[in-house]
Amino acid sequence: MIFRSPFPDVEIPDVGLPELLFGDISGRAANPALVDGSSGRTLSYGELAAMVDKVAAALAARGVAKGDVVGIFSPNTPFYAVAFHGILRAGAAATTVNSLYTADELASQLRDSGATRLFTISAFLDRAEAAAKAEGVRVSEIVVMDGAEGHPSLADLLATDAAPPDVVINAETDLAVLPYSSGTTGRAKGVMLTHRNLVANILQVQQLIDVGEHTRVLAMLPFFHIYGMQVTMNAALYAGAAVVTMPKFELPEFLRVVSEHRTDRVYIAPPVAVALAKHPIVDSYDLSPMKVLFSGAAPLDEELAAAVRARLGCTIRQGYGMTEMSPVSHMIPDDRDDISIGTVGVIIPNMECKLVDPGTGEEVGEGVPGELWCKGPNVMAGYLNNRDATDATLDTDGFLHTGDVAVIDADGVVSIVDRVKELIKYKGYQVPPAELEALLLTHPLIADAAVIGVRDSEGEEVPKAFVVRQQAAELDAAAVMAFVAEKVAPYKKVRVVEFLDAIPKSASGKILRKDLRAREN
Ligand code: ATP
Ligand code: MG
**How open is the CA angle 374-380-386, to the nearest 5 degrees?**
115
CA of 395 to the centre of ligand 2 (A): 16
- Dist. CA 140 → ligand 1 center (Å): 34
Position 49 pLDDT exceeds 90: yes
What CA–CA distance (Å, rounded) separates 220 from 75? 10
Neighbours of 257 (CB within 10 A): 22
Of the ligands numbered here, which is closest to the C-alpha atom of 421?
1
Q: How far is the CA of 43 from the centre of ligand 2 (A)?
A: 34
Q: Under a CB-based contact definition with an 8 Å cutoff, are residues 461 and 455 in contact?
A: yes
Contact 244, 257 (CB under 8 A): yes
Are 94 and 172 contacting, i.e. CB atoms less than 8 angstroms apart?
no
Mean pLDDT, rounded, for 79-90? 98
Cβ atoms < 10 Å from Cβ of 506 = 20
Q: How many whole angstroms separate alpha carbon 433 and alpha carbon 463?
A: 8
pLDDT score for 497: 98
Nearest C-alpha neighbor of 216 from the set 25, 35, 17, 28: 35
Q: Is the ipTM of this complex over 0.95?
A: yes
Model pLDDT, residue 185: 87
pLDDT digits (tens, 9 = 90+) for 240-299: 999 999 999 999 999 999 999 999 999 999 999 999 998 999 999 999 999 999 999 999
Per this entry, what is the length of the chain?
A: 521
Query: How far apart are the C-alpha atoms of 29 and 33, rounded to whole Å?
Result: 9
Three-class DSSP category at 63? coil
Distance 226 CA to ligand 1 centre (A): 11
The pLDDT tens digits for 293-349 are 999 999 999 999 999 999 999 999 999 999 999 999 999 999 999 999 999 999 999
Closest C-alpha to ligand 1, atom 3: 183
- Span from the CA of 404 to the centroid of ligand 2 (angstroms): 9
In a mutational test of the pocket of ligand 1, which residue from 267, 510, 514 has the highest number of ligand atoms less than 8 Å from its CB?
Answer: 510
Gap from CA of 393 to ligand 2 centroid (Å): 10
Question: Is residue 509 very low, low, confident or very high in pLDDT (cuts 50, 70, 90)?
Answer: confident
Instruction: Tell me the pTM.
Output: 0.96
427 three-class SS:
coil
Q: From the alpha carbon of 295, which atom of ligand 1 is closest?
A: 27
Phi-psi bin for 494: left (phi > 0), alpha (psi -120 to 50), beta? beta
- Let me know: does 463 contact 433? Beta carbons within 8 Å: yes
Given CA atoms 395, 399, 402, 403 in this order, what sign does their dihedral have? Answer: negative
Q: Which residue has the CA at smallest separation from atom 23 of ligand 1?
A: 297
Query: Which is the closest atom of ligand 1 to the Cα of 185?
Result: 4
Pairing of strands 141-144, 117-120: parallel
Rounded distance from Cα 185 to ligand 2 centre (Å): 7
Taking the CB of residue 389, how many other CB atoms lie within 10 A of it?
17
Going by C-beta distance under 8 Å and a sequence separation of 6 or more, which residues neighbour residue 283?
Answer: none
pLDDT at 90 over 90: yes
pLDDT confidence of residue 461: 95
- Cα-to-centroid distance, 182 and ligand 2 (Å): 7
Ligand 1 atom closest to 403 (CA): 18
456 HSE (CA, 13 A, CB side): 14
Choose the residue to mutate in 109, 112, 178, 182 for probing ligand 1, maximizing ligand atoms within 8 Å of C-beta.
182
Which pLDDT belongs to residue 507? 85
Contact between residue 323 and residue 296 where contact means Cβ atoms under 8 Å apart: no
Tell me the ligand closest to 513's alpha carbon.
1
Q: Whose CA is nearest to atom 28 of ligand 1?
A: 299
* Average pLDDT for 419-445: 94
Distances (CA, A) of 407 to 345, 416, 421, 429: 11, 7, 16, 17
Separation of CA 116 and ligand 2 centre (Å)? 26
Ligand 1 atom closest to residue 327's alpha carbon, by position in its atom list: 10
Which of 112, 181, 344, 415 is the best mutation target for the ligand 1 pocket, counting ligand atoms within 8 Å of the beta carbon and taking the most?
181
Q: Can you give the pLDDT at residue 200?
A: 98
- Nearby residues of 489 by Cβ (< 8 Å), 6 or more positions away: none
Give dist(CA 60, CA 37) in Å, integer. Answer: 31
Between CA 261 and CA 266, with CA 265 as vertex, the angle to 5 degrees is 85
Taking CA atoms only, the protein residue closest to ligand 1 atom 18 is 322
- Measured between alpha carbons, how far is 320 from 220 in angstroms, rounded to an integer? 18
**For ligand 1, atom 1, which residue shows the shortest CA distance?**
183
Q: What is the bridge-based pairing of β-strands 382-383 and 191-194? A: antiparallel
pLDDT band at residue 352 using 50, 70 and 90 as cut-offs: very high
Query: 181-238, pLDDT tens digit by residue?
Result: 999 988 899 999 999 999 999 999 999 999 999 999 999 999 999 999 999 999 999 9
- Mean pLDDT for all residues in the chain: 96
| Ligand 2 centroid from CA 137, angstroms | 25
Question: Ligand 1: residues within 6 Å at CB?
Answer: 181-186, 188-189, 296-299, 318, 320-323, 344, 402-404, 416, 419, 508, 510
- 423 CA from centroid of ligand 1 (Å): 14
Q: Which domains does the chain have, with CATH numbers?
A: 424-518 (3.30.300.30)
* Ligand nearest to C-alpha 184: 1
Cα separation of 424 and 366, whole Å?
A: 23
Q: What is the mean pLDDT of residues 32-47?
A: 98
- Ligand 1, pocket-test mutation among 184, 316, 329, most atoms within 8 A of CB: 184
Identify the pLDDT of residue 508. 84
Residue 163: which residues within 8 A CB-CB, separation 6 or more? 53, 57
